[in-house]
Amino acid sequence: MDTTILINTLIYAGVGILLLVIAFVILDLVTPGKLWEEIEQKQNSAVAIFAGAIALSIAIIVAASVHG
C-alpha cells in the first residue's frame, strides 16, 4: 500500500472530523440551552434525536464536500 494514500486518507478524515465538531459547536451556540446538558442530565430523548439527525446531516455534507 502506498503511504501517500494512507496519509491523504488520514488528512481527509481529520479534516472531516474537525468540520463536524466545529459545526456541532456552532449548532450548540445557536440553539437555546445546552445540548449536552439536555441530553445527559435531563435525559431529553427529543433533543438527542435532533442532535443525532443534525450530526448525520452535517456528516453527509462534509463527506460529499471532501469526496468532491
Confidence of residue 68 (pLDDT cuts 50, 70, 90): low
The pLDDT of residue 58 is: 84
Q: How many Å from the N-terminal Cα to the C-terminal Cα in the chain?
A: 23
Residue 49 forms part of a structural domain? yes
Residue 35 forms part of a structural domain? yes
Residue 38 forms part of a structural domain? yes
The CA distance from 45 to 25, in Å, is 19
The pLDDT of residue 32 is: 87
pLDDT digits (tens, 9 = 90+) for 1-40: 689 988 988 898 898 889 888 988 898 899 888 888 888 9
C-alpha cell recorded at residue 11: 488528512
Q: Domain span at residue 20?
A: 12-67
The domain tally of the chain equals 1
Confidence of residue 55 (pLDDT cuts 50, 70, 90): confident
